[in-house]
């Protein structure tokens, strides 16, 4: 039995695509059971449609408040019997209510070596600070912004010739490998569950 993951994405969904691609390998211990997006035109939804992955656009504007919006997402995730939720470019902070009502682990990938440069524009922050190394981090999701326990990281050197675009591209290539690697380890029980 493969571990079932549900993915939340807001954008183009390149990490979603990488998870999906890697889930098809013989060495994979997980399957992508579901995609939910809060953006109707998200590229991730198109990919899910093309790949016949169950997918849902859940519009926050259809709900009176964040609590009802998140409740709907939890209902869908539970309906598809997911074991783990993976954020892949999901641009909203999940509330404690979501995390508690879901009751299982949620993980995220972020384009910096956390705890450095949390939040938006991490690559720009890294360049402005002048660091010589950046990278990506997979971490458990808690109530804060990119503050959960770190599970895995990949280091990417920052070159003198780098701009935001080139650095982002090199980090993204590592994200695609690291995220699936972490999910595979988690699926085999090699990563301790979060003690939120």
Residue positions annotated with a catalytic role = 110
Strand pairing class (133-140; 150-157): antiparallel
Q: Per the structure block, which two tokens stand in for 150? A: 């770190």
Rg of the chain, C-alpha, whole Å: 16
d(CA 123, CA 160): 14
Q: Is 80 exposed, middle or buried (0-12, 13-18, 19+ CB in 10 A)?
A: middle
Strand partners, 139: 108, 150
Name the H helices within the chain. 14-23, 43-50, 66-79, 96-102, 122-129, 164-187
Strand pairing class (84-87; 55-57): unpaired
Contact 128, 112 (CB under 8 A): no
d(CA 44, CA 194): 27
């Amino acid at each position: 039995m493969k571990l079932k993951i549900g993915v939340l994405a807001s954008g183009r969904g390149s990490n979603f695509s990488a998870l999906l691609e890697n889930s098809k390998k013989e060495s994979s211990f997980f399957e992508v059971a579901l995609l939910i997006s809060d953006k109707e035109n998200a590229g991730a939804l198109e990919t899910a449609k093309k790949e016949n992955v169950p997918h849902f656009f859940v519009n926050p504007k259809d709900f009176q408040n964040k609590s009802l919006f998140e409740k709907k997402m939890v209902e869908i995730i539970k309906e598809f019997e997911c074991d783990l939720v993976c954020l892949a470019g999901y641009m909203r902070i999940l509330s404690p209510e979501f995390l508690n009502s879901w009751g299982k682990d949620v993980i995220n990938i972020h384009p910096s070596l956390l705890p450095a440069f949390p939040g938006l524009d991490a690559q720009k922050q890294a360049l402005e600070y002048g660091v010589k190394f950046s990278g990506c981090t997979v971490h458990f999701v808690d109530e804060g912004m990119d503050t959960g326990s770190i599970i895995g990281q990949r280091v990417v050197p920052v070159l003198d010739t780098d701009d935001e675009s080139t650095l982002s591209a090199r980090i993204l290539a590592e994200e695609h490998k690291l995220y699936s690697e972490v999910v595979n380890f988690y699926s085999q029980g090699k990563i301790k569950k979060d003690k939120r």
